[in-house]
Structure 1
């Protein structure tokens, strides 16, 4: 079975073997294949004098759990086994990239079934390795600062709009050289370059079009980027759609007789036996 992009909140009371905020038990025994991914619980769990209690699930029987968390309190005095994320964890079960709030739960176990984090850490995007922000998850003040699922419709409160709008790397065509295929990495994004026609080298005086595709790093988004706000110092024209990191840039490689500074940023031409220095050839 599969459970994904689900959450619980409220109160759960248990008096039997398995009690958890999202499920009592995740069962992949007896030939079942079970995957639980991209789920969370803010549920207050109360199950004193029972057997297996977890903030997220009471027990994991050989199932795969990925990118899940718990930030609900757990009260289970007298229980056989209590865990911040999972109460009973069978050999063969797999938990990956999953966490629980150690301050809220009052627990600190870390036996492979969920990593304890402080409340501040649980509200910090940097700890959520391999989580898909903002397509599956958001980090929003509307969810008390904890990650929420994108379908819940909360604003991306903790994601910053990309502000580095100048493609600093020298990517302009240089006669006889191969096209560059990547822009310089910044704190906000990485980027690849695809050239129309897939040229192997640039010929003199040739018009070229590059599609620059930027990928936002964790904590950043292109939502809020205005149309045609990116610039490429060496390009003749530059355009981008609103809320997008895909940029179209046109160039023209210098004709014979022009000299570049070695990286395409500036071209020089002879005028009356002197260098006429007016920037990139366009």
Structure 2
């Protein structure tokens, strides 16, 4: 999910009562909920599509979820000591307990891969022990309705706290609402998955992908038996039979053992891709894309060009 969602998850956990455990609890929860995304720094040293195969891996796996919160807890504890020595430690801050700082940093960090799993991009839960990708297919990567629930509950909780009321209750209401919303979206995905597999056209693989804003709708992405990928949308009642990917001239995926294709960009793309397909470029060469992220307005972000490979068009079986 996006970093605003992760931050709000950390904030609502703090307002549910966890921030009473130690001083600097809220920074531990909020920063901790974003910690695994330190892998975004890979953009400084990786080029092209290489980042696709690196993200949501090593920094989201078990070793990182133990080590990164420990580093964060140490930094926060050191910051508290530094402020105290300079005489700038806020009087209202609770005593800082290193054990609780680590525990809350860990809780925040643990929430991150769980929420990342909810969309179609995927996550490698067990890296470096296993590089298997897992997909929840439940929420779009940016969910404005989840934002609204979490923002309102955190605001409501802070307002009640300021007035001296029961400030943990609004946070718990927000957590319950968010969990119910996630469960409802998971159920919608499962229902559409059953419909997608029982309605024509039939294919060898079906992916049910959430769409932005309209949480009750889904995109059905189907791999046909000849290798072609097509997609259409379920609007909450019926499938729209205008197929998106059939508008592109798709090609046979080239022989990847060809020495011309051995490069880190291609390896990273194929390692990450869940629904790879080859499309004909204007010059007749091949562009590899992923059907989950096929968007004519932003095609280059999730694609790799193979200029030395000529498109061999798919033929219906």
**TM-score normalised according to structure 2 size:** 0.21
Query: 1 or 2, which has the higher helix percentage?
Result: 2
Query: 1 or 2, which has the higher strand percentage?
Result: 1
Larger radius of gyration: 1
Q: Give the number of the structure with larger relative contact order, counting CA–CA contacts within 8 Å between residues 6 or more apart.
A: 2
